Amino acid sequence: MLLHTAAWVIIALLVPWEDSIVQIVGISLGMLALVGLPTILLAVLAGLGHRKMVPGRFRGALVAPMLVFIWPCLAASTAEPLVFELMVQLAFACYLMPVPLVPEKWVGHVQ
Domains in the chain, number: 1
Q: How far is Cα of residue 34 from the mean position of the Cα atoms in its chain?
A: 10
Query: Is residue 104 domain-resident?
Result: no
Residue 111: inside a domain, yes or no? Answer: no
pLDDT in tens, 78-89: 888 888 888 888
Q: Is residue 110 part of a domain?
A: no
Domain of 54 in residue numbering reads as: 2-12+21-98
Give dist(CA 14, CA 105) in Å, integer: 44
- Quickly state the pLDDT bin for 110 (edges 50, 70, 90): low
> CA 21 to CA 45: how far, in whole Å?
34
User: What is the reported pLDDT for 91?
Assistant: 87
pLDDT digits (tens, 9 = 90+) for 22-61: 888 888 888 888 888 998 898 888 888 777 777 788 888 8
